[in-house]
């Protein structure tokens, strides 16, 4: 108990403290508010200060990152939105907190269901971001979004997403999850090819 | 391999031995899919004593109950092991629902204390002879016992998910409308919330006074009651302890919990098997991968699914990373509690941050990973992540753990605050069902990864960390060393990581689980994390119980604290390492 433990410990903090400035000098002007600066601070060789100045700086999210779900639609030629969803209800069944409500379209003449949703609601206050809906959707119609900045002033009115809010184009999906998108497209193409073999 | 073939034979023999020894009151549990023995309630203490004293089963890890409503019967379920390792034994006592009384096992196994209180609270099974049978997670004015199958919440919708109102005619109803505030509670019949006056926790203080009296001091001094928490920064959440003080010395202490209670088990019994998986993330939210692991193992025992090799390795890598994250956080917050303010915890969090980045890239979420599936894992490693895991495990973590060690371990202030504080002897640790670092710091080399190996842990070379003083400092040392061992395991797993599929069969959302019971246990970062699942062939479990290490490690908390100064409660609680999401469930 001669105080050497404390002195050595302070040595560690001193080294860390100086490490920030060494890194600052090495990366003169590029360590903060730049993409490579953020990448440097979250890399495995980071040293010194590693905090990120949100919202000025944002950490890029990985492809698999999941937040609330959205519905994918195909863009028709005249800007028509064709949802991939067939309202089969698997996402509503698999949802652990049961935050998905789907109303199936019924053909008024025949009374038989039509494979597209009449209404689709997700209560994002209840959604637990587990990703099951996207994982088990057989039509790749519901996917997890990357947008995590969802705060609103009036959550009672705005936090139930309806079709208007949920539908996003395939091109958006392809930009946030390029690898998954490519894999799925390949699988669909293969499946479409199969009967002809 | 030899262990796996020998184990069932051994297990069978202990059960037969019990039956031959107590032919009158012990019988084999012959229900399909069940194992273990049934003990007549009136002979429970006799059998438990024999198990402890003569047969070497001295470590009672889990006490819970099940309500078999259709049969009109309830049972208490006990899982017991040898502290020297090996497979365990499950014994049960059955009794009619309308007369749910069994003798308490607290005189034989003090570790049953909080668990029996929980079983009384949630299932309404009365334990005769329990020294302090009060509600523990719910408040005293709560109506009914929620885990009984005929109990329904005021906003009851349906017995099991998926609810029919969601599809195909899903007319949205906002959660607030369905479950309006102030209307979401049911009160006992003669209870009027408007005219209710708080009874000032009279039962709690009565129980404190009783335990003060038991210590029988002959000098009359004034005892001061101090309420620490629920809003106390050192309690890591909403945990409350009522401390009886004589001067500054603790005479008695009672933990009060349940402020974060949401009845995880009832929620799970309404869910399908797969739907429970993301809810387990929210138990101990610092180590969600381990929680997934335990639950997946329990269900896999029932379904017989075998994860492919690659999935097993990925599971181990993730579980060990989780252990490192958790221990970093535990050490950091212990130092925070000791007054080191934020420097150590930020140093710890920096490494945790890198690991969480891996989780985010692999599982999609940093903390609520939801990564395990029955018979595999959700997805394979994305490109480049294996390289990052390698860098973290080989280049980054070893020097950083050494640095943390250098920074803190010999610090005189830390040593004087934690050495000799909160001592738990090995005998006490076993008797009080302590688990994880708390048990191993008391000199009991019990680590489920070695004592009762699961998954592929028998392939890795690592040491079971053990220290012998049983104080807060040794618990800290165990955690530092365990991180090094986890790094070793990850290094081996990364080297051997095979290719191949990551999921047995096709991923499916409706898992067929045959009727029966299973207890899946893993060595979680905080101790033994067990999931007891009873299936009846339906899509949702009949009974689902979590053996929560943070909760059960609080059983010896009073024992550790008595005789210490009031400021030490904080150091001791920090060294136990609790997460309130798991304590309160």
Do A131 and B364 make contact, defined as CB atoms within 8 angstroms? yes
Do A44 and B279 make contact, defined as CB atoms within 8 angstroms? no
Cβ neighbours of A121 in B, within 8 Å: 170, 172
Question: Is residue B493 exposed (0-12), middle (13-18) or buried (19+ Cβ within 10 Å)?
Answer: buried
Say yes or no to pLDDT of B218 above 70: no
User: What's the pLDDT score for residue B5?
Assistant: 46
User: What's the pLDDT score for residue A197?
Assistant: 47
Percentage of chain B beyond pLDDT 90 is: 39
Residue B50 falls in which region: left (phi positive, over 0), alpha (psi -120 to 50) or beta:
alpha
CATH number at residue B436: 1.10.645.10
User: What's the pLDDT score for residue A194?
Assistant: 66
CATH of domain A69-196: 3.30.70.3270
B340 with B236, same domain: the answer is: no
CA distance B393 to B384: 15
Most confident region among B2-11, B161-170, B525-534 by mean pLDDT: B525-534
Domain boundaries, chain A: 1-60, 69-196
| B323 and B496 Cβ atoms separated by less than 8 Å | no
Average pLDDT, chain A: 86
Which of A44, A50, A126 is the closest to B175 by Cβ?
A: A126
B251 with B268, same domain: the answer is: no
B312 with B268, same domain: the answer is: yes
B223 with B280, same domain: the answer is: no
Residue of chain A whose alpha carbon sits nearest to that of B378: A135
Do A121 and B172 make contact, defined as CB atoms within 8 angstroms? yes
User: What's the pLDDT score for residue B430?
Assistant: 92
Comparing C-alpha atoms, which of A158, A97, A186 is closest to residue B368? A97
Cis peptide before A177 (omega within 30 of 0): no
Comparing C-alpha atoms, which of B140, B207, B260 is closest to residue B578? B260
User: What's the pLDDT score for residue B191?
Assistant: 74
Q: Flag whether B218 is in a domain.
A: yes
3-class SS string, B255-293: EECCCCCCCHHHHHHHCCHHHHHHHHHCCCCCCHHHHHH
Say yes or no to pLDDT of B199 above 70: no
| Average pLDDT estimate for A30-40 | 84
Most confident region among A26-40, A183-197, B168-182, B511-525 by mean pLDDT: B511-525
B250 with B279, same domain: the answer is: no
* pLDDT, tens digit (0-9, with 9 covering 90-100), for A47-77: 878 888 888 888 888 999 999 999 999 888 8
How open is the CA angle B74-B431-B207, to the nearest 5 degrees? 70
Cβ neighbours of B275 in A, within 8 Å: 94-96, 132
Which of A92, A101, A130 is the closest to B278 by Cβ?
A: A130
| Stretch 40-99 of chain A: residues touching chain B, C-beta under 8 Å | 42, 44-46, 50, 61-66, 87, 89-90, 92-96, 98
**pLDDT level of residue B217 (50, 70, 90 thresholds):** low
B341 with B238, same domain: the answer is: no
Instruction: Output the six-digit token pair for B367.
Output: 């903390």
Say yes or no to pLDDT of B31 above 50: yes
| Stretch 129-188 of chain A: residues touching chain B, C-beta under 8 Å | 129-132, 135-136, 144, 156, 160, 179
* pLDDT, tens digit (0-9, with 9 covering 90-100), for A137-181: 988 899 999 988 888 888 777 888 888 888 889 989 999 999 988
| Average pLDDT estimate for B416-434 | 91
**Residue owning tokens 């495990």:** B393
B409 with B467, same domain: the answer is: yes
This complex has an ipTM of 0.90
* Other beta carbons within 10 Å of B565: 14
Do A156 and B392 make contact, defined as CB atoms within 8 angstroms? no
User: What's the pLDDT score for residue B9?
Assistant: 46
User: What's the pLDDT score for residue B356?
Assistant: 92
B330 with B245, same domain: the answer is: no
Task: Provide φ and ψ at A92, rounded to 5°.
Answer: -65, -30
Which of B171, B363, B383 is the closest to A101 by Cβ?
A: B171
Do B168 and A104 make contact, defined as CB atoms within 8 angstroms? yes
| B510 and A132 Cβ atoms separated by less than 8 Å | no
* Other beta carbons within 10 Å of B58: 18
* pLDDT, tens digit (0-9, with 9 covering 90-100), for A90-113: 999 999 998 899 988 888 888 888
| Average pLDDT estimate for B331-352 | 88
Please tell me the distance in Å from B255's CA to the nearest CA on chain A: 31
Q: Chain B within 8 Å of A111 (Cβ-Cβ)?
A: no
User: What's the pLDDT score for residue B214?
Assistant: 67
Do B166 and A89 make contact, defined as CB atoms within 8 angstroms? yes
B86 with B225, same domain: the answer is: no
Number of folded domains in chain B? Answer: 3
CA distance B15 to B88: 10
pTM, full prediction: 0.89
3-class SS string, B96-126: EHHHCEEECCCCCCHHHHHHHHHHHHHHCCE
User: What's the pLDDT score for residue B86?
Assistant: 85
Cβ neighbours of B412 in A, within 8 Å: 1-3, 5-6
Contacts with B179 (C-beta within 8 Å, 6 or more apart), sequence order: B155
* pLDDT, tens digit (0-9, with 9 covering 90-100), for B51-106: 888 888 999 999 999 999 888 899 999 999 998 888 888 999 999 988 889 999 99
Which of B161, B368, B382 is the closest to A98 by Cβ?
A: B161
Instruction: Output the six-digit token pair for B415.
Output: 């040593």
Do A62 and B382 make contact, defined as CB atoms within 8 angstroms? yes
User: What's the pLDDT score for residue B10?
Assistant: 45
User: What's the pLDDT score for residue A53?
Assistant: 87
Say yes or no to pLDDT of B438 above 50: yes
**pLDDT level of residue B3 (50, 70, 90 thresholds):** very low
Say yes or no to pLDDT of B7 above 50: no
User: What's the pLDDT score for residue B8?
Assistant: 46
Contacts with A149 (C-beta within 8 Å, 6 or more apart), sequence order: none
Do A44 and B388 make contact, defined as CB atoms within 8 angstroms? yes
**A-to-B residue pairs, Cβ atoms closer than 8 angstroms:** 150
Last residue of a domain, one of B85, B109, B128: B128
CA distance B442 to B428: 9
Q: Flag whether B184 is in a domain.
A: no
Range of the domain at B432: 264-584
| Stretch 5-24 of chain A: residues touching chain B, C-beta under 8 Å | 5-6, 8-9, 12-13, 16
| Average pLDDT estimate for B229-233 | 79
| Residues found in chain B | 585
Cβ neighbours of A102 in B, within 8 Å: 166-168, 170
User: What's the pLDDT score for residue A82?
Assistant: 84
DSSP string covering B203-238: HHHHHHHHHHHHH--SS----EEEEE-SS-GGGTSS
B294 with B220, same domain: the answer is: no
| B337 and B570 Cβ atoms separated by less than 8 Å | yes
3-state SS assignment for residue B130: coil
**pLDDT level of residue B319 (50, 70, 90 thresholds):** very high
DSSP string covering B379-395: SPPPTTHHHHHHIIIII
* DSSP class of B66: E
User: What's the pLDDT score for residue A80?
Assistant: 82
B313 with B459, same domain: the answer is: yes
Cβ neighbours of A107 in B, within 8 Å: none
Question: Which residues is B528 bridged to in the sheet?
Answer: B523
Question: Is residue B301 exposed (0-12), middle (13-18) or buried (19+ Cβ within 10 Å)?
Answer: middle
Cα dihedral value B337, B341, B344, B347, nearest 10: 130
Q: Flag whether B155 is in a domain.
A: no
B321 with B460, same domain: the answer is: yes
Average pLDDT, chain B: 87
CATH number at residue B15: 3.30.460.80
| B167 and A147 Cβ atoms separated by less than 8 Å | no
């Amino acid at each position: 108990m001669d105080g050497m433990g404390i002195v050595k410990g302070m040595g560690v903090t001193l080294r860390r403290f100086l490490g920030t400035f060494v890194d600052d000098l090495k990366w003169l002007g590029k360590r903060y508010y730049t993409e490579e600066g953020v990448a440097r601070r979250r890399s495995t060789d980071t040293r010194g200060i590693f905090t990120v100045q949100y919202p000025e700086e944002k950490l890029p999210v990985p492809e698999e990152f999941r937040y609330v779900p959205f519905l994918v639609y195909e863009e028709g030629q005249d800007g028509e939105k064709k949802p991939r969803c067939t309202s089969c209800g698997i996402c509503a069944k698999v949802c652990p907190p049961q935050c998905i409500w789907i109303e199936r379209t019924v053909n008024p003449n025949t009374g038989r269901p039509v494979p597209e949703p009449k209404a689709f609601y997700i209560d994002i206050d209840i959604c637990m971001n587990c990703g099951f809906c996207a994982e088990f959707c057989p039509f790749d119609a519901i996917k997890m979004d990357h947008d995590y900045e969802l705060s609103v002033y009036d959550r009672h009115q705005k936090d139930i997403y309806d079709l208007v809010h949920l539908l996003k184009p395939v091109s958006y999906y392809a930009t946030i999850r390029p690898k998954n998108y490519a894999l799925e497209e390949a699988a669909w193409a293969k499946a479409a090819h199969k009967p002809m073999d | 391999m030899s262990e796996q073939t020998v184990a069932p034979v051994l297990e069978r023999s202990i059960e037969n031995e019990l039956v031959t020894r107590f032919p009158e009151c012990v019988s084999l549990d012959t229900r399909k899919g069940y194992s273990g023995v049934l003990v007549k309630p009136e002979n429970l203490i006799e059998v438990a004593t024999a198990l402890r004293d003569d047969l070497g089963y001295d470590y009672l890890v889990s006490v819970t109950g099940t309500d078999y409503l259709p049969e009109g019967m309830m049972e208490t379920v006990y899982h017991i092991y040898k502290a020297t390792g090996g497979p365990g034994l499950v014994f049960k006592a059955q009794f009619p629902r309308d007369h749910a009384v069994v003798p308490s096992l607290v005189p034989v196994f003090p570790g049953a204390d909080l668990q029996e209180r929980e079983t009384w609270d949630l299932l309404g099974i009365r334990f005769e002879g329990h020294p302090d049978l009060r509600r523990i997670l719910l408040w005293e004015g709560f109506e009914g016992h929620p885990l009984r199958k005929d109990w329904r919440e005021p906003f009851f919708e349906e017995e099991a998910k998926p609810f029919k109102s969601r599809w195909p005619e899903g007319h949205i109803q906002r959660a607030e409308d369905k479950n309006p505030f102030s209307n979401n509670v049911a009160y006992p019949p003669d209870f009027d919330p408007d005219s209710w006056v708080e009874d000032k926790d009279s039962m709690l203080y009565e129980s404190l006074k009783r335990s003060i009296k038991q210590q029988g001091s002959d000098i009359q001094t004034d005892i001061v009651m101090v309420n620490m928490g629920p809003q106390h920064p050192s309690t890591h959440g909403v945990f409350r302890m009522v401390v009886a003080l004589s001067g500054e010395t603790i005479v008695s202490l009672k933990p009060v919990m349940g402020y974060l209670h949401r009845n995880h088990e009832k929620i799970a019994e309404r869910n399908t098997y797969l739907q429970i998986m993301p809810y387990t993330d929210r138990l101990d939210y610092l180590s969600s991968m381990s929680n997934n692991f335990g639950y997946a193992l329990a269900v896999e025992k029932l379904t017989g699914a075998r994860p492919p090799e690659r999935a097993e390795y990925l599971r181990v890598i993730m579980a060990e990373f989780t252990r490192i994250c958790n221990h970093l956080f535990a050490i950091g917050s212990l130092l925070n509690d000791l007054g080191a303010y934020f420097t150590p915890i930020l140093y710890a969090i920096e490494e945790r941050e890198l690991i969480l980045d891996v989780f985010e890239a692999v599982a999609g979420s940093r903390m609520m990973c939801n990564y395990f599936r029955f018979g595999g894992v959700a997805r394979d490693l994305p490109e480049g992540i294996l390289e990052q895991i390698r860098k973290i495990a080989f280049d980054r973590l070893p020097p950083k753990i050494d640095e943390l060690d250098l920074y803190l371990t010999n610090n005189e202030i830390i040593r004087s605050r934690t050495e000799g504080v909160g001592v738990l002897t090995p005998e006490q640790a076993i008797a009080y069902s302590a688990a994880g670092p708390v048990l191993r710091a008391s000199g009991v080399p019990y680590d489920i990864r070695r004592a009762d190996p699961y998954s592929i842990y028998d392939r890795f070379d690592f040491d079971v960390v053990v220290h012998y003083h049983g104080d807060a400092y040794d618990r800290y040392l165990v955690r530092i060393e365990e991180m090094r061992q986890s790094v070793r395991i990850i290094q081996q797993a990364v080297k051997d990581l095979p290719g191949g599929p990551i999921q047995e069969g096709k991923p499916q959302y409706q898992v067929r689980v045959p009727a029966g019971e299973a207890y899946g246990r893993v060595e979680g970062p905080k101790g033994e994390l067990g999931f007891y699942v009873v299936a009846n062939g339906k899509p949702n479990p009949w009974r689902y119980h979590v053996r929560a290490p943070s909760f059960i490690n609080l059983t010896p908390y009073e024992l550790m604290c008595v005789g210490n100064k009031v400021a030490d409660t904080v150091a001791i609680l920090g060294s136990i390492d609790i997460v309130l999401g798991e304590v309160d469930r």
